[in-house]
Chains A and B, each alone.
Chain A
Amino acid sequence: MDREKVSLYTQRIITSPFWVLVGKEVRDHIKSIRFNILMVIILLTCIGSLYAALTQVRDVANNIEAGEELYLYLKIFTISGENGTLPPFVTFISFLGPLLGIAMGFDAINSEKNNKTLLRIMSQPIPRDYLILAKFTGSLFVIAFLVIMLGTLIFSLGILIMGIPPTFEEFIRVFVYLIMIIVYIGFWLALSILFSILFKQAATSALSGIAIWLFFSVFYSILVNLLVTASVPDQLFQDAQGANQDKITTYMRLSPNYLFSEITTVLLNPGFRTLGPVTMEQAKGAIPSPLAINESLMIVWPQFIGILALSTICFLIAYTIFMRQEIRS
């Protein structure tokens, strides 16, 4: 009886118009040249950096003193190639991830509008929000699939090359990190979907997305440093200097890129005990040992909520505008 109910329920989900739209979205992405090019780029760079890291990992392991935990799998993500020829995986992902998000969303709504397919979908008996929800869900599915695939690829390559299986803690840390990547890319996806609603031309919307991405990844830190140092009269006093540093960190945390980099650091370096500046008094008496997984998670919790909140805000604005927009062009 229960099984029947379940099968009926799944049947209803499969035939529900929402999942039909999600399915179409997923299929469109997988078939699109744009996504495939990006996927190949991400795969190639990641495999390249992984290869470099795996060849280096022996030296790293040699340097670890006896009795210390190895965390080799976390190292794979963070160590760069010989003489720094190839940046580590985390750098690549924090660089290419937003690009992937932007690329998947920048023409979500405006292409439907320009193609007049929006009108066709809207004249079917489905609620209006199905379309935008399906766009977001479908793209996020594809992103999640790609990221999880990368993660499992790393584990399997690691086992193949190093011959050491990952510990449970390493697995959890990497898994949480992968989920963070998905959420982070989700933010850029929501932002670019917002732009796809605001701008009629796909090119305008893509460029706006890229402009914001560039702003946060390059100019924002320069701007914050400039403004904060300019606002403090001089740096003679240590107190002022500390306050200065605090201020910079606070302002930097408005940037999703910075939040994500903090998450990455804490999750993949168990040795990181805190984020931001630490005074001598605070550090005094601390035992220099790696943090347990739940403690690391506690440190990045605010950062995670920050990124989630930013994505939600972007998506909500997009949703509201879309629901109120006139369908006719």
Chain B
Amino acid sequence: MTKVIEITNVVKKYKEVTAVNQLNLTIQKGEIYGLLGPNGAGKSTTIFMLLGLTEPTEGELFIEGISPTKRPIEVKKKVGFLPDHVGVYEDLSGFENIILTARLNGFTRKEAELKADELLQQVGLSHAKHKKAGKYSRGMKQRLGLADTLIKEPSIVIMDEPTLGIDPKGIQEFLQMIKELSVEKGITILLSSHHLHQVQQICDRVGIFVKGELLAEGDLDTLQQQLLDKHTFQYEIDTKESSDRVESFLQTKYPKLRTSVYEGKLHVTTKQKDNGNLVKTLINDGGFHLLSFRPMSYGLDDIYQQYFQGGDDLGSREG
């Protein structure tokens, strides 16, 4: 496997604010990598640095061994970029719009027309290719943007929130297109998003990015494991008696136990897996009427929510 994108110890500061902090990231050839994070996490800044549109304060980036900071034009020959809002020349037709891009990439008019026809067919815009791009709907513009990105025959495509503002059906079609692209043409794809489900659907690997730092990375399984601390277990206890009473009972019995009351139910966190002792103690020694006892597990969803809501706390704790 060859490394297509390499980011080492990259820091980007805007005056006082640190947008990206000590980022390390490698993406292999043919991968679909999802950069997942809330707004303002530094995803776009990272992408702009990869395209050579912004310079990093510290650290180095390489795309197929070329530094976008030093040789941006060579990098831009290989990299297609699809922003969240595709800018189109509204007076030109969709066809003319992507022909312009093709010609800026050094294709002759004839080559450009052939390729444009083919790509518009692929993204399903052939019927509207001579319509003015200003009249396109949001989803159509984004599909035109995809064709625009592909016309330069890139080996890497970087997408910044590509599905923003498209309706659900459109999103599905769009994601499908991206997936096919990666499989058929072997294009490496880096996409940023704040939608877990979309990322989950198509990405081979995901990095969770909060406050300029990569908190966790890997395919979805390892991500889940990384984010869940393997050595803590949580149980939810519901009793007929009030949870406070159960809590104080357990606290005197096991002083090391971490407990909390949530929606009238007691949550217990232990360092080791419970082998039935907890329930036994509760019933035999405490004499409680146990209604339910269940081990709690977090889905990726919950974890992600947690990062987003408590993004500040978690981010600063990790840093």
Residues of A with Cβ closer than 8 Å to B? 15, 17, 20-21, 24, 28, 31, 112, 115-127, 326-328
Contacts and interface: CB of A to CB of B under 8 A. Distances in A.
A125 B73 contact: yes
Contact of B103 (A17, A115, A123): A17
A31 B73 CA distance: 31
B300 to A, nearest CB: 30
B91 to A, nearest CB: 7
B247 interface: no
Interface residues of B, number: 30
A21 B103 CA distance: 9
Given A327-B48, A328-B53, A121 B73 contact: no
Nearest to A122: B53
29 contacts: A15-B103, A17-B103, A20-B100, A20-B103, A20-B104, A28-B91, A112-B87, A115-B87, A115-B88, A116-B86, A118-B87, A120-B148, A121-B104, A122-B53, A123-B53, A123-B76, A124-B101, A124-B104, A124-B105, A124-B152, A125-B104, A125-B105, A125-B106, A126-B76, A126-B104, A326-B54, A327-B48, A327-B53, A328-B53
B130 interface: no
A108 to B, nearest CB: 14
B138 interface: no
B95 interface: no
B85 interface: yes
B74 A125 contact: yes
Interface of B: 44, 48, 51, 53-54, 73-74, 76-77, 79-81, 83, 85-91, 100-101, 103-108, 148, 152
Contacts of A31: 91
A255 to B, nearest CB: 36
Contacts of B48: 327-328
B91 A117 contact: no
A117 to B, nearest CB: 4
Given A121-B104, A123-B79, A327-B54, 11 more contacts: A20-B104, A115-B88, A116-B85, A119-B83, A120-B101, A120-B148, A122-B53, A123-B51, A123-B76, A124-B152, A327-B48
A262 to B, nearest CB: 40
Which residue, A24, A117, A122, A124, has most C-beta atoms of chain B within 10 A?
A124
A123 B90 contact: no
Contacts of A120: 83, 86-88, 101, 148
Contacts of A24: 100
B52 to A, nearest CB: 9
Contact of B87 (A28, A119, A127, A326): A119
Contacts of A20: 100, 103-104
- A-B complex: 7 closest residue pairs judged by Cβ atoms: A116-B87, A117-B87, A123-B81, A125-B76, A125-B77, A124-B104, A20-B103
A115 B90 contact: yes
Nearest to A113: B87
Contacts of B44: 328
Contacts of A15: 103, 106-108
A24 B54 CA distance: 27
B88 A17 contact: no
Which residue, B44, B77, B88, B106, has most C-beta atoms of chain A within 10 A?
B106
A112 B44 CA distance: 20
Contacts of A127: 73
